[in-house]
A and B are shown apart, each in its own frame.
Chain A
């Protein structure tokens, strides 16, 4: 039997504010964080981390080399390690990092390529280019915290971070690492907001609402989770926030019925009766329709709650769903993460005696 994977630390940078208490309160009250975006992040509405601060956590000389998404991730990792009581440097070669992002790398690509195209190669910045590669997120975190174990950055549209979770669990089960950091991070930037709007994916009026078919609003943020086997967590008396199981299925039938069925199969394969359900629907019909297939198949399950209608789409590429599940007072939480392509993912989160 494969070892049980538990979460022993969590960190969040969300549009509702820094840290777990801000996140817990925003989730409890279901308060949306949407507002007109600062000009530097794009034109229109979205959920921006306007209160974000890295003061005292990222050295200023280091911070100037990091893009926004990496700064978010760094602060979330700092919080997760603190809660878990783990000295990353001491763990070094036995600590893994698995990250997911939809926008990582792209944030730096615009400021890199715009001057290159406008003025020629001499305008290209060697300071910016390394951040055009998503692995730089993990590279910077590994340098900042002294982490030397295996690492990856996974891309899977809306579910990148949950895809990375699967790999992190495998590394733990295989004994390649004693602990693994799971990190989801996304940042808003003007080109992204413009492209989403131009592709008619975002809602033009009001806040997103599941079932409205109006579209979603973009968001940003990061979440970090420290994963360990239960045995190791108990051995070092770490706090156990919950235990995790993950299932994924893809479909070659691109219709919402086909992909929704894949999501349904993933959720059912967990053989889990949830007390609460965190769903990845956003207000855009693509994802809403997939989740609807699961709802229709399981009318006896509780109604899903939707973090992306509070904190925006992307904003951690699935990490925000796991964060919401941990923040929820229910003991057994199902997470369904529909995706506009690729794998459909479901998670079962069970908390110890909460």
Chain B
């Protein structure tokens, strides 16, 4: 197995259109969750979300979905940082691994609305704006003629996409890969989580005793990945290593996690086993932490179970307090914060954590960033259907 390095990170979020501005605002304690400005969901109780502000630039066109647009922005940043000369690679050994986003769903909603209002609609838009279209667009920009994977695992999709890219690179099947996910707001997801009573009308409060649900968010994170030895040979800046992942199912409930977090704990243990990390090697858990009453409690139990007594020494952070729940992109957003924490030796805060839930007895980095070295991190991403994914990342220490 080859070691796999992250050499590029592109981050488009509700806090900024690149990694630098996003990270600076995260460390300044800012939240991207605000009153809706670019999307309209009349009649919904919640009128807040973490929207990406493109500064007046059109969010969609007939030929390009919002997710495609922000994916390509994130890709541009990741590739520029990586500095890889793509045309030196065999195109068949470049892969593209993305989460299936809502992508063309707004086009489908638009078609149904047209029909309801007696208009003919544009049937070709929803047919051709599938999540695969997004993967193909990113692949074309990278010049990839290798595998193009589009994963529809809902909220764990982008974490698995990064895991897939790691597998291909580690097994020697590819020489370069881009992986991650993008997400935009749409009526189906906003209305869906709302009707499940999972949405908070106020900014969400992960791990708080008074947490009352999630906020939805937008964003894109793409990573450039390559074999560590190749990255070192060309003198690339190595941001972190991807060292493995664990994947499990709860087989418990269609939308709720196992209350004891059994499946999630197993995913975390598997990730450490694959990565050859002991619990004592872990300094950070980038938690899924949606801020729903059921999820955070089960995840806290999972962390305690997987890390045992070492859990007391681990920092936990909840990216959804800044970025809302970015669904398909959520795992990649969590990974981005873990990578930046390892690079800069500072853990991002869990905002609005003023009344910690005693049922979640962890150091959840309340309110302000925490300076500490992070040797290795676990990134949790859990999805409907009891689908659990945990990514393992390791800091690059120069050897």
Are the CB atoms of B384 and A139 closer together than 8 Å?
Answer: yes
Are the CB atoms of B132 and A156 closer together than 8 Å?
Answer: yes
In the assembled complex, how far is the CB of residue A328 from the closest CB belonging to chain B, in whole angstroms?
Answer: 27
Closest to B160 in A: A152
Closest to A95 in B: B249
Tell me the residues in window 217-274 of chain A with beta carbons closer than 8 Å to chain B beta carbons: 248-252, 262
Decide: A129 near B192, CB < 8 A? Known: A93-B248, A250-B145.
Answer: yes
Are the CB atoms of B251 and A148 closer together than 8 Å?
Answer: yes
B19 interface hit (Cβ, 8 Å)? no
B355 interface hit (Cβ, 8 Å)? no
Are the CB atoms of A343 and B147 closer together than 8 Å?
Answer: yes
Are the CB atoms of A250 and B148 closer together than 8 Å?
Answer: yes
Question: Which among A105, A120, A138 has the highest number of chain B CB atoms within 10 Å?
Answer: A138
Tell me the residues in window 122-139 of chain A with beta carbons closer than 8 Å to chain B beta carbons: 122, 124-126, 129-130, 132-136, 138-139
* Stretch in A4-12, A13-21, A106-114 touching the partner: A106-114
In the assembled complex, how far is the CB of residue B327 from the closest CB belonging to chain A, in whole angstroms?
Answer: 9
Are the CB atoms of A154 and B116 closer together than 8 Å?
Answer: no
A163 interface hit (Cβ, 8 Å)? yes
A149 interface hit (Cβ, 8 Å)? yes
In the assembled complex, how far is the CB of residue B56 from the closest CB belonging to chain A, in whole angstroms?
Answer: 28
Closest to B103 in A: A155
Residues of B close to A196: CB separation below 8 A = 123, 127
Are the CB atoms of A109 and B105 closer together than 8 Å?
Answer: yes
Are the CB atoms of A109 and B135 closer together than 8 Å?
Answer: no
Are the CB atoms of B387 and A138 closer together than 8 Å?
Answer: yes
Contact residues on A (Cβ < 8 Å of other chain), bracket: 35 or more
In the assembled complex, how far is the CB of residue A89 from the closest CB belonging to chain B, in whole angstroms?
Answer: 9
Are the CB atoms of B247 and A342 closer together than 8 Å?
Answer: no
A298 interface hit (Cβ, 8 Å)? no
Residues of A close to B369: CB separation below 8 A = none
Residues of A close to B153: CB separation below 8 A = 135, 151-153
A58 interface hit (Cβ, 8 Å)? no
In the assembled complex, how far is the CB of residue B215 from the closest CB belonging to chain A, in whole angstroms?
Answer: 16
User: In the complex, A138 Cα to B42 Cα: how many Å?
Assistant: 33
User: In the complex, A106 Cα to B104 Cα: how many Å?
Assistant: 11
B64 interface hit (Cβ, 8 Å)? no
Please, how many residues of chain B have a CB less than 8 angstroms from a CB on the other chain?
71
Are the CB atoms of A124 and B145 closer together than 8 Å?
Answer: no
User: In the complex, A150 Cα to B271 Cα: how many Å?
Assistant: 12
Residues of B close to A130: CB separation below 8 A = 196, 254-255, 384-385
User: In the complex, A145 Cα to B248 Cα: how many Å?
Assistant: 14
Are the CB atoms of B112 and A121 closer together than 8 Å?
Answer: no
Decide: A148 near B263, CB < 8 A? Known: A135-B387, A138-B387, A153-B153.
Answer: yes
Are the CB atoms of A249 and B150 closer together than 8 Å?
Answer: no
Are the CB atoms of A343 and B196 closer together than 8 Å?
Answer: no
B253 interface hit (Cβ, 8 Å)? yes
Contact of B147 among A151, A176, A250 (CB under 8 A): A250
Residues of B close to A142: CB separation below 8 A = 249-251, 385-386
A303 interface hit (Cβ, 8 Å)? no
User: In the complex, A152 Cα to B116 Cα: how many Å?
Assistant: 34
Are the CB atoms of B188 and A109 closer together than 8 Å?
Answer: yes
B27 interface hit (Cβ, 8 Å)? no
A157 interface hit (Cβ, 8 Å)? yes
Contact of B249 among A138, A157, A341 (CB under 8 A): A138
A117 interface hit (Cβ, 8 Å)? yes
Interface residues as binary, A260-302 with B (CB distance below 8 Å gives 1, 0 otherwise)? 0010000000000000000000000000000000000000000
B113 interface hit (Cβ, 8 Å)? yes
B363 interface hit (Cβ, 8 Å)? no
Are the CB atoms of B251 and A120 closer together than 8 Å?
Answer: no
* Stretch in B7-15, B69-77, B136-144, B280-288 touching the partner: B136-144
Residues of B close to A33: CB separation below 8 A = none
Are the CB atoms of B150 and A154 closer together than 8 Å?
Answer: yes
Are the CB atoms of A110 and B112 closer together than 8 Å?
Answer: yes
B81 interface hit (Cβ, 8 Å)? no
Closest to B247 in A: A150
User: In the complex, A136 Cα to B249 Cα: how many Å?
Assistant: 12
Q: A135-B385, A139-B386 are in contact. List 5 more A-B contacts (CB 8 A).
A: A139-B254, A147-B251, A149-B247, A250-B148, A342-B136
Q: Identify 18 residue pairs between A and B in the complex whose beta-carbon atoms are under 8 Å apart, listed by A's number.
A: A93-B248, A109-B105, A109-B108, A116-B187, A129-B195, A135-B154, A135-B384, A139-B384, A143-B252, A147-B249, A149-B247, A151-B387, A154-B150, A166-B147, A176-B247, A198-B121, A250-B148, A343-B148
